Structure 1
Amino acid sequence: MHKEIDAKTLLSASKNPSRWFGVNYTFNTYRGCEHHCIYCDSRSMCYRIDNFDELIVKRNSVEILKKELKNKRKKGCLGTGAMSDPYTKSEKDYMITRGCLEAIAEYNYPVHITTKSSLILRDIDLLEEINKIYASVAITITTTDDNLAKVIEPGAPSSSERLKALGVLSELGICTSITMMPILPFIEDTEENILDIVNKASYYGVKHIVPWLGMSLRDRQRDYYYKRLDKSFTGLRMKYEKSFGDRYSCSVRNAKKLYYSLSEACSKYGISLKMPSYHQKVSAVQLSLLNDI
């Protein structure tokens, strides 16, 4: 289901840029998502999206973004994808995210994109142009098992496709990360899964992994998730109810041990567990210039 609307504004100032890839201003070209991931926190009541499976298209996003960028007094890193995927399936036809990237390139802003889709490769020409300043892409990988991914992220491209996309982006010098979140308790919380994600990250040239060894569960999202567990993972719901009750934050089993294994593997391959950001790049350049004086 699609619904088109006209947005009044697009950019929102981030109160704490360091919390999410150094993003100063966030924007969403869509509300809702067609990837239908069974664990998505954006279904929670606090986000006020009545039906997250209905895609709301902000059809005038490009026009609004151009106006807002033109009038911005203070530049900063723009970010998209934290709430709704900018490369949801319908972006292939609407091309609104591409239009926004054209505006970002025109006004010389840095950008960070979080997505779960290999469709981002369509816009590689614009990302290369923006990367003359700074372009960062984080692609979510929670499992390397394509069959499992099809169950928990049914509308998204396969994990294999996403990893290959990261490889292409990395090869072109774009800052790449894996957002390894959420890691679902009793489903994905094995050392084998975690280490295979790290191995694949290394193979495809990814330099950053941003993990969360657990997931969130609250109100509508919990209800939705449990219905999907009943459908695809018989008996697992009872384990969740017994282990987590009404808790919002649900850590995986053996979280410390898994994180140690993750850290050791990342250290071996030279992969950072810290979020990259445009501000780190600017600081590094400034420090380099000072050292050359």
Structure 2
Amino acid sequence: MHFTDAKGILSGKNGYFGMNIYRGCTHGCIYCDSRSKCYQFTHPFEDIEVKQNAPELLEQALRSKRKKCMIGTGAMSDPYMHCEKELLLTRRCLEIILENGFGAAVQTKSDLILRDIDLLSEINRSAKCVVQITLTTYDDELCKILEPNVCNTKRRIEVLEIMQERDIPTVVWLTPILPFINDTKENIEAILNECVRTGVKGIIDFGMGLTLREGDREYYYAALDKNFPGMKEKYIKRYGNAYELPSPNSKELKALFRNICKENNILSTPKECFEFIQEMPDKYKQMSLFDL
């Protein structure tokens, strides 16, 4: 872990802005796209870059905005990695979002988010809060292999339950689905049934498959060699160096996904889900007092 003073913290447009308080991750997910070389990491991925001035930058940025909007975090680096337990930077940023009347959209795999349930509830009451949880496999033994350093699927489902009890809307990322590993009807159906039971608002799926780029591919294939002997060769034979690796079962799995979502009025396209996540309720789009 190392510390840096960032020049800015928010990026985005059209009424939605995202921030990454950290760069890198310690969850150890074998498929993580953020490892890809295109993101130009200049330090080891597990050597977390901490933007120590993130709260100050966020406060300056929010005070300068004329309209309230949603502020997202977690797209590139999980805001609830292990170091957040001590550093509390995500918590401080949520406090600033609340103090300034903005909404929050938080994406994570970690149950550490429950530490901040008080702030998430207050933000949801005063503006809007959306919690996004990634679920890839219902099998917790497989989860230990795919996502070794973060809480298991059953615990993440408990997080969804707790958010439901607090009336905080949730969106599940059902991605990635790894060919020949977690791409079974039984797995997808089990996850979807839990989404229905816990009342999620939407589920994001990008076609029941996986994407691999330079940097990410090498790490993933090394993990396959370690945990699934012979699987790398199966991937290379079927997909070569392709960026998109759809499951051989994708047609069946996508039909199952669409049917369950339709039957239960769950948002089921990325467009619908992102619109919900990014949209600030009209009554909160007023001008900031600092601009009057």
User: What TM-score do the two structures reach when normalised by structure 1?
Assistant: 0.90
Q: Is residue 49 from structure 1 mapped to residue 26 from structure 2 by the alignment?
A: no
Which letter does structure 2 place at the counterpart of 1:71? S
Which residue of 1 is the match for residue 154 of structure 2?
160
Shift of 1:33: 0.5
1:109 alignment counterpart: 102
Structure 2 unmatched runs, 5+: 286-292
Which of the residues 222, 242, 262 maps onto 1:227? 222
60, 63, 67: which is aligned to 1:67? Answer: 60
Q: Secondary structure at the match of 1:88?
A: coil
Amino acid across the alignment from 2:184: T
Structure with larger RCO (C-alpha < 8 A, sep 6+)? 2
- Quote the residue 2:25 is aligned against: 33
Q: CA deviation at 1:283?
A: 6.5
Q: Say if 2:184 and 2:249, in contact at 8 Å, map to a contact too.
A: no
Distance 1:278 1:140 in 2: 15
8 A Cα contact 1:171 1:205, kept in partner: no
1:250 aligns with 2:245: yes
Tell me what 1:58 maps to: 51
Paired position in structure 2 for 1:262:
257
SS of 2:142 mapped into structure 1: helix
The answer to whether the 8 A contact 2:68-2:280 is kept is no
**Where in structure 2 are the equivalents of 1:203-214 lying within 5 Å?**
203-212=197-206, 213-214=208-209
- Measured after TM superposition, the shift of residue 267 of structure 1 is 2.5
Query: TM (normalized to structure 2)?
Result: 0.90
Partner of 1:121: 114
How many pairs were matched up? 278
Separation of aligned partners in 1, 2:47 and 2:87 = 15
Q: Is the 8 A contact 1:45 1:220 kept in 2?
A: yes
Aligned to 2:290: none
Q: Distance in 2 between matches of 1:263 and 1:64?
A: 41
